[in-house]
Amino acid sequence: MAQILKHSEILREIRRNENIEEVHGDIINLMDWLAKAPKYTIFRINKLRKFDPEIIEVTLKLQCEDLEFSRIPKFYLLKPDCLVLERWPDDENMTIPETEVIVDASCAAAVLRGAHVFAPGVMGLPTNCQLDSFVSIYGDLEEKCKKGLKVQYNGRKIFVGMGQLKMLRNQLYGEDLEPSGIAVHTIMPASRLPVINETMYPKGDILLQNLPSIVCGWVVDSQPGEAILDMCAAPGNKTTHIAEMSNDKAMITAIDKTVKKVEKIQANAMAHGIKCIKCYAYDSTKCWSDASTGINVGPPFPSNSFDKVLLDAPCSGLGQRPLLLNKMTPKMLNSYKFVQRKLMKSAVAVLKVGGKLIYSTCTITEDENEGMVAWALQEFPCLRLVAAEPLLGGPGWSGCGLTDEQRVLVQRFGPEMDPLRPVDDLYRDTIGFFIACFTKIEN
């Protein structure tokens, strides 16, 4: 797993510290953590609809019988809109099938999260396989497996689970073929996460979503009648969450750069039965103009237009787990903070005095997290950092531009244990994520 964050320049950028030995120790622990899938599967529940937990219990019992296991995983509602499933108990044995299916790294990561293998992700499959036979699923860690490989792959690979074959070579490979659908039905991921998905319920009833993303919606805490801007909204998972939290009674404006992305937000809202979201294809770095006549005509918006602004910023995404392959270059990594600063300027401009600005990323770097908070506080005297409640993640990193008083106001989701704020295991075993909250005062 030492290849996960392979550039020494990137390692230095993740967390700057004068103590080199301490930095390298932190990085190694962080890399190990990033390489593993969280041991919880999290679904967001649409509070506008009725949720029946018995469906999941019945499904888990059937899987338990098929696997000849003695106990089903524990599952529970953390809040009315958050369902937690723990992984299968570790006291059961699995027999690993000899036949190997090779999948690309992104597919392998999805399998470790409990997903099935879809046809486009299959790189190698032996010729002598039979439908419904049991196979081992391996992820290609170097992107060197050529599509359509017939023999055993001897490159760097990782076992990610076992499953049942649902497609053969003649359905997967060929000049005129564009295969789709489930190629391998995952039975047990190596992470031992339950194979549970959204198709068990009507579309829009439940949504597979990372826990910190759900916490981000709780921090927004949308209320009926509030004017809320979601600046980088696609595909709309956080947008629909804040709409549901307001009982579909907030006035939510969702922006993203392209028509295609906006169509995803609209489709998501429709599936969730939400009507309070207005969507626009627009560049959020330019969403402010005092020449505008009001928020009802669309972007750009005048100053002091919104009660709350959610800036879930485009980021390097280095908090995703399991992170099996990293293609980030130092140049790419350093570019994100400049876009984030432009977005922050627009967010501050359109936020009302007394309003609430929520900034979040799904990455682990200092520049995009604590560094952004420190920059914003210096750049905008009208901003005050306030507690990003509910404070469920750990405090911000030390030595990254924030005082201890400021560190405890933000929340960083990661493996670290910081005496400033103890964190439950559930909130330490998530993806890497960061949330900060500001309020705007009279300048």
Q: What are phi and psi of 208, to 5 degrees?
A: -70, 120
Q: Are strands 182-189 and 157-165 parallel, antiparallel or unpaired?
A: antiparallel
Is there a binding annotation on residue 440? no
Cis before 300? omega within 30: yes
Is there a binding annotation on residue 291? no
287: left (phi over 0), alpha (psi -120 to 50) or beta: alpha
Is there a binding annotation on residue 216? no
Is there a binding annotation on residue 424? no
Is there a binding annotation on residue 404? no
Is there a binding annotation on residue 197? no
276 is catalytic: no
Is there a binding annotation on residue 388? no
Catalytic residue among 216, 362, 400, 437: 362
- Token pair of 361, please? 């990323």
Is there a binding annotation on residue 232? yes
44: left (phi over 0), alpha (psi -120 to 50) or beta: beta
Is there a binding annotation on residue 233? yes
Q: Which residue has the tokens 């560190």?
A: 407
| Euclidean distance between CA atoms 167 and 217, whole angstroms | 39
Nearest residue to 108 via CA among 153, 75, 63, 73: 153
- Burial class of 340 by CB neighbour count within 10 A (0 to 12, 13 to 18, 19+): buried
Is there a binding annotation on residue 238? yes
Instruction: Give the residue numbers marked as catalytic.
Output: 362
Binding residues for S-adenosyl-L-methionine: 232-238, 256, 283, 312
